[in-house]
Amino acid sequence: MAYPFRIMLTDNQRAELRTLIGAKNGAARTLTRARILLKVDHGDGGPGWSEAAITGALDVNASTVLRVRRQFVTDGLAAALHRKRPDRVYDHRLDGEAEARLIAIACSTPPDSLARWSLRLLADSRAPHPVTPGVPARADPEYIRGGVTHLFLVTKPLCGWRHVTVGPRRTRLEFAQCVKEVVDTHFPDADRIVLVMDQLNTHSTLSLYATFPPEEARRLAARLEIHDTPKHGSCLNMAERELSVLARQCLTQRLPDQSAMATAVTAWATRRNAAIHTIDWQFTTDDSRARLRRLY
């Protein structure tokens, strides 16, 4: 049978391939290609295996055998063994100065309001080692658990405003105090406040009556227009989007106690409010009725 790209190895080439396979320190791809070349050798003393025999013995595809033969015939032994380096030249988007400045910023301590997430308060059990020349920053994975805290987040999405309250619990008392702060402190002049909430058991006007005298609870409730998201549909609450941003930007750092968390969260909210980051909500009422019909 006449094979395309017929291979006949020299004695030196066979010796080089056997040495490469015997060393067993090359890449798996390179060693497989060396074995293919030895088996497909039709020169004097070569085994001259068929393509079917090689694919079955070495567990490779027939197209791989053909590719190795073609590269050996057209480009030589080195090209058949080793992956070709890309010819494309990529332009550097940053010069040396900009790259050094970017690396310095990445290695520096992040702002108080930025990190990553975990609502569990963590403290370093051992002091981390800072960055030194040639050595990256190192931190002991062991930590001391400092407890659990809860966050109440209120946002005015079209105005780019948000406020976060940090507390040890999320009972009716904390919820009622949060609502009172919204009504009397943040929006004292509003005739009606539209409040969108999920269906957590404490998120109702009953919490106001359980916390304040009836007259005060009625005064606060009269200022509110409450809309509950559907059960299992709390993603419709825009505050969930702000909580996601807070989680990703601020709460992944290790925070030793509630005070440290309050400081970090306040700095985050202040920075976001100063930048007037609004929420571009594009999920309309018609969309919700069509796509979330099972929730209504």
What is the percentage of the chain residues whose pLDDT exceeds 70?
A: 84
* Residue-level pLDDT at 140: 62
Q: Please identify, among 66, 81, 96, the residue that sits at the C-terminal boundary of a domain.
A: 81
- Residue 211 resides in a domain: yes
Contacts of 28 (CB under 8 A, 6+ apart): none
Q: Do 154 and 285 sit in the same domain of this protein?
A: yes
Q: Please identify, among 81, 112, 129, the residue that sits at the C-terminal boundary of a domain.
A: 81
pTM listed for this prediction: 0.53
* Residue-level pLDDT at 213: 94
- Residue 202 resides in a domain: yes
Q: Give the C-alpha separation, 97 to 95, whole Å.
A: 6
- Residue 114 resides in a domain: no
- Residue 115 resides in a domain: no
283-287 contacts: CB < 8 A, separation 24 or more?
283/236
Q: Give the C-alpha separation, 237 to 154, whole Å.
A: 11
What residue ranges of the chain have pLDDT lower than 70? 1-4, 90, 92-94, 101-103, 105-106, 108-128, 140-145, 295-296
- Residue 190 resides in a domain: yes
Q: Please identify, among 62, 81, 100, the residue that sits at the C-terminal boundary of a domain.
A: 81
Q: Give the C-alpha separation, 112 to 44, whole Å.
A: 74
pLDDT tens for 15-57 read: 888 888 888 777 888 888 888 888 888 877 778 888 888 888 8
| CA angle in degrees (0–180, nearest 5) for 31-33-34 | 65
* Residue-level pLDDT at 1: 47
For the beta carbon of residue 192, count every other beta carbon within 10 angstroms. Answer: 10
Rounded to whole angstroms, what are the CA distances from 277 to 184, 187, 290?
24, 19, 29
Domain that holds residue 35: 11-81
Domain count, the chain: 2
* Residue-level pLDDT at 121: 40
Q: Do 154 and 286 sit in the same domain of this protein?
A: yes
- Residue 107 resides in a domain: no
- Residue 170 resides in a domain: yes
- Residue 106 resides in a domain: no
CATH number assigned to the domain comprising residue 254: 3.30.420.10
**Alpha helices of the chain — where are they, by DSSP H?**
11-23, 28-39, 51-58, 62-75, 77-81, 96-107, 172-181, 206-211, 214-222, 238-249, 258-275, 285-291
